């Protein structure tokens, strides 16, 4: 008689896990206050005192900057538009190369293409899953303009050698901090180390405003360029007699008063939410350490802080006797894979397919690739381009979110019970090979 749920046995748990919901009375009150003013956005796309938005926008930006100890914050309507803004601000042009991670949300790699630059994929480190500085260095050419670092899953990238490379080769460093709000690298908050940092406030992130984003920087000049790109730069450059007009065609990437009022409340909750997440990760790590086939990610050292957007685990198929996909499918069968309000699975085999394998890169389907300035560039987007990333994604890594705030120890015990049950009955899976 089969015991495992994937073979028809009874699942460890069918009751849904608690929803991750950070929105409460504070946000409701803040929204009502904005609604009462009748002023839902005060931005004006002209040289005017409202060029930088209304009171909630300004307060949210000030509080965000202060929270991580950076000079400026510029709110935008998503991390994606923040990345586009950053590429514009640092002056990306056709023929420029930007070194990016292949193991990230797709927007990180798309950003240079918006201004005619092309992404060059550096491989990742097998422990942090962030770009490996050794691989970054190999990607640097005379056309390299910037390194777009991603603190993936909330683990800080190894910034010291990356900043050294940038200094040596005169490159900009942009940090994609979407998954790492309040993560630290050697005591410094991410988003304060490179030239620009970009955070996300979308619904899936640690805190959210529905959609939204924040750009952070210590550079007055880059911040002014970001503010212009966010809000109709073309109307501003005349009155300000701006000399360098590169990329100063403006967009409307503005956040509203309502979103920023929510953001102010969400930011206050972030430290507590992070503490709970880290406590849950510690609990799970302690429990999961009993399974020799699981390799848990070591916590970063030297005053660095990981924010665990997801909890990554490497699966050793030699020790387990089955492959990762078979295991992940069995785990999905033992636990409800989605929670209230959400349909996205909480367990995934790997994270996202290495970005360069997407059709956009395979087909060179962006004008930047066709531009004469790109003709001389070698674009490496084949299978095999980043072997560590491919190994992690296709064979070793799985990620789950059973450590989000709201999960109780009893909830996590069910998760551990599911792991235990599979390892105890692993022979049931040895003959079947499945694909996730």
Ligand X SMILES: *Cc1c(COP(=O)(O)O)cnc(C)c1O
Name the residues that contact ligand X, by CB under 6 A.
78-80, 104-105, 107-108, 150, 176, 178-179, 200, 202, 213
Least distance CB 235 / ligand X (angstroms): 25
Nearest to ligand X of 42, 179 (CB atom)? 179
- Cβ atoms of residues 208 and 266 within 8 Å: yes
Radius of gyration of the chain (CA): 23
SS (H, E, C) 32-61: HHHHHHCCCCCCCCCCCCCCCCCHHHHHHH
Question: Exposed, middle or buried, 382 (CB in 10 Å: 0-12/13-18/19+)?
Answer: exposed
Least distance CB 429 / ligand X (angstroms): 32
The C-alpha atoms of residue 305 and residue 93 are separated, in whole angstroms, by: 35
Least distance CB 120 / ligand X (angstroms): 18
Question: Exposed, middle or buried, 298 (CB in 10 Å: 0-12/13-18/19+)?
Answer: exposed
DSSP for 366-428, written as a single string? SHHHHSGGGTTPPP--STTSSHHHHHIIIIIEEEE-TTSTT--HHHHHHHHHHHHHHHHTGGG
- Cβ atoms of residues 11 and 246 within 8 Å: no
- Residue that is written with structure tokens 């080769």 in the block: 169
Least distance CB 240 / ligand X (angstroms): 29
User: Mapping DSSP to helix (H, G, I), strand (E, B) and coil, where does residue 277 land?
Assistant: helix
The C-alpha atoms of residue 66 and residue 261 are separated, in whole angstroms, by: 16
Tokens of 25: 């009375």
Strand partners, 184: 189, 305
Least distance CB 204 / ligand X (angstroms): 6
- Residue that is written with structure tokens 């240079």 in the block: 112
Least distance CB 154 / ligand X (angstroms): 10
Least distance CB 209 / ligand X (angstroms): 10
- Residue that is written with structure tokens 């802080």 in the block: 305
Least distance CB 201 / ligand X (angstroms): 6
């Amino acid at each position: 008689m089969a015991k495992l749920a994937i073979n028809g046995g009874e699942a460890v748990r069918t009751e849904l896990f608690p929803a991750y919901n950070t929105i409460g009375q504070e946000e409701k009150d803040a929204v009502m206050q904005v609604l009462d003013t009748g002023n839902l956005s005060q931005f004006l796309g002209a040289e005017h005192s409202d060029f930088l938005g209304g009171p909630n926008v300004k307060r949210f930006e000030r509080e965000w900057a202060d929270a991580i100890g950076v000079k400026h914050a510029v709110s935008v309507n998503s991390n994606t538009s923040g990345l586009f803004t950053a590429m514009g601000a640092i002056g990306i042009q056709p023929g420029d190369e930007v070194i990016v991670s292949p193991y990230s949300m797709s927007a990180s790699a798309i950003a240079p293409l918006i201004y005619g630059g092309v992404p060059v994929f550096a491989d990742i480190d097998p422990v942090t899953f962030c770009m490996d500085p050794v691989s970054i260095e190999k990607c640097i050419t005379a056309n390299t303009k910037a390194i777009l670092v991603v603190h993936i899953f909330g683990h800080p990238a190894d910034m010291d050698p990356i900043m050294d490379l940038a200094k040596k080769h005169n490159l900009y460093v942009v940090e994609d901090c979407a998954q790492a709000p309040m993560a630290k690298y050697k005591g410094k908050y991410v988003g304060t180390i490179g030239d620009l940092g970009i955070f996300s406030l979308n619904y899936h992130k640690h805190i959210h405003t529905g959609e939204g984003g924040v750009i952070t920087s210590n550079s007055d000049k880059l911040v002014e360029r970001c503010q212009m790109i966010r809000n109709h730069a073309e109307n501003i450059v005349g009155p300000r007699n701006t000399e360098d007009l590169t990329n100063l065609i403006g967009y409307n990437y503005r956040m509203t008063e309502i979103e920023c009022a929510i953001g102010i409340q969400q930011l206050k909750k972030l430290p507590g939410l992070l503490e709970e997440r880290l406590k849950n990760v510690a609990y799970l790590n302690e429990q999961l350490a009993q399974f020799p086939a699981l390799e848990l990610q070591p916590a970063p050292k030297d005053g660095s802080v990981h924010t665990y957007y997801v909890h990554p685990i490497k699966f050793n198929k030699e020790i387990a006797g089955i492959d990762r996909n078979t295991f992940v499918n069995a785990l999905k069968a033992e636990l409800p894979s989605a929670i209230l309000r959400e349909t996205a699975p909480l367990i995934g085999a790997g994270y996202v397919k290495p970005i360069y394998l997407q059709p956009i890169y395979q087909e060179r389907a962006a004008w930047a690739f066709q531009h004469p300035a790109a003709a001389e560039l070698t674009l490496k987007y084949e299978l095999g381009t980043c072997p560590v990333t491919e190994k992690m994604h296709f064979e070793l890594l799985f990620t789950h979110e059973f450590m989000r705030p709201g999960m109780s120890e009893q909830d996590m015990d069910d998760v551990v019970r599911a792991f235990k049950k599979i390892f105890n009955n692993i022979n049931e899976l040895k003959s079947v090979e499945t694909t996730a």
